[in-house]
Structure formats: structure tokens, C-alpha cells
């Protein structure tokens, strides 16, 4: 990583964003900028113009009892991996996040996963629908208030209807029983 380039980029972002750049964190040679949600879209566009042409990941954090409850995290780099920048922004429950699909096409599936697992919606997203859970599923499994054992459902438990291959093996889900005891951990090691 070229820390001089990243420092210059953060300085440019600071000039462009002003008070909307809330914080800059340098930790273990990683740079994070925290921005207001209202400035998130312009921050991402500016980062792209500064050469962060590779969107590594988009994720979200549920801070549960804090306000704002959620936080969006964008991991950006350039293709030759000489620069890496993390952009974070806090989001109130029910507040929409601007989509990054117009900047990086790969943001499409990342944002769909965040929507599916956390319930955070993206404004102007071209295809905001569930990607892992089925349409109509009323819950968001990665929220902290979602129970570890899951919630009752009308969907058949297809994965546990017959004899599983390698049944009883060290990393195989046990059929039947409840979901907590049947999770795929190394048997006898947890």
C-alpha cells in the first residue's frame, strides 16, 4: 500500500466534503473515512475518480441498541492494489442508502445481500430483491434481534427430510432435532 497516495486522497476528500467527512481513522496501515449518509454517494463517486476502481465488498453492521442502528461499510481499492480505502456511514432504521451500482456494477449483488440479510434498502437500485432468502420471507437473519435458532416457517425443511450423505461425519448437519443442536460444527469440538 502506498500510504502517501492514500493520505493525499483523504486530504482531497476532506476538501470536497468539508463537515460531511466526520472522521478519519488510521489503524494497522488501513485508512477509514466516516461520512454522513447525505454525503455517501458523492464520497463514493469522488473515491472512484481518485482511482478506487475496484469495489471489494459492501457490508453492514447492526449496532442494535445504538442510534443510528446500522452502519454501511465499503471496501475500495484500485486494481493494482496500491491503494485501499474503507468508507463507513451510519444509517437510521428505515432510512434508504444511495445505491453504488451506477459507480461499480458489482455493487448490485452486494447491496441485494445487505437488503436481504439486514433489511437496509437502497434508493435507485435497479433490482432490489432478495438474493439468499425467498421472496416474502418476513425477517432479516443477520440482525442482532434475529434468534440464533431461527424463526418458525411454513417452508418445508428440505435439507433434513432424508438421509444425508456422510451422515454422522464431523462437519455434517444432523437431521432432525432443533437447529441449534444440528448446526454444522465439528462434533465434539465445540
Q: Which CATH number do you get for residue 83?
A: 3.30.460.80
Q: Within a domain: residue 145?
A: no
User: Alpha-carbon distance 112 to 109, whole Å?
Assistant: 5
* Whole-number pLDDT of residue 188: 52
Task: Show the cell assigned to 143.
Answer: 440482525
Q: What is the mean pLDDT of each run of 10 residues along the chain (190 residues)?
A: 84 94 93 97 96 96 95 96 94 97 96 97 96 89 87 65 57 56 51
* Whole-number pLDDT of residue 102: 97
* Whole-number pLDDT of residue 177: 56
* Whole-number pLDDT of residue 56: 97
Name the residue among 67, 179, 59, 53 with its Cα closest to residue 115.
59
Query: Containing H/E element for 110?
Result: helix 107-118
Q: Within a domain: residue 128?
A: yes
* Whole-number pLDDT of residue 159: 55
| Long-range pairs for 77-81: beta carbons < 8 A, 24 or more residues apart | 77/52, 78/51, 78/52, 78/53, 78/54, 79/53, 79/54, 81/1
- pTM of model > 0.85: no
Residue ranges making up the domain that contains 13:
3-138
In the chain, how many domains are there? 1
Amino acid at each position: 500500500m502506498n500510504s502517501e497516495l492514500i493520505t493525499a486522497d483523504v486530504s482531497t476528500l476532506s476538501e470536497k466534503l468539508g463537515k460531511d467527512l466526520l472522521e478519519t481513522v488510521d489503524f494497522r496501515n488501513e485508512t477509514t473515512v466516516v461520512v454522513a449518509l447525505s454525503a455517501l454517494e458523492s464520497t463514493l463517486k469522488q473515491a472512484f475518480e481518485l482511482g478506487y476502481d475496484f469495489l471489494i465488498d459492501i457490508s453492514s453492521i447492526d449496532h442494535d441498541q445504538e442510534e443510528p442502528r446500522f452502519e454501511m461499510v465499503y471496501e475500495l481499492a484500485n486494481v493494482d492494489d496500491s491503494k485501499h480505502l474503507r468508507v463507513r456511514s451510519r444509517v437510521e432504521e428505515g432510512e434508504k442508502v444511495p445505491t453504488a451500482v451506477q459507480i461499480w456494477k458489482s455493487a448490485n449483488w452486494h447491496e441485494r445481500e445487505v437488503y436481504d440479510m439486514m433489511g437496509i434498502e437502497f434508493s435507485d437500485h435497479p433490482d432490489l430483491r432478495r438474493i439468499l432468502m425467498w421472496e416474502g420471507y418476513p425477517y432479516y437473519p443477520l440482525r442482532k434481534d434475529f434468534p440464533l435458532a431461527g424463526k418458525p416457517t411454513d417452508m418445508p425443511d428440505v435439507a433434513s427430510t432424508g438421509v444425508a450423505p456422510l451422515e454422522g461425519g464431523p462437519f455434517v448437519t444432523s437431521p432432525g432435532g432443533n437447529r441449534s443442536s444440528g448446526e454444522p460444527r465439528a462434533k465434539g469440538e465445540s
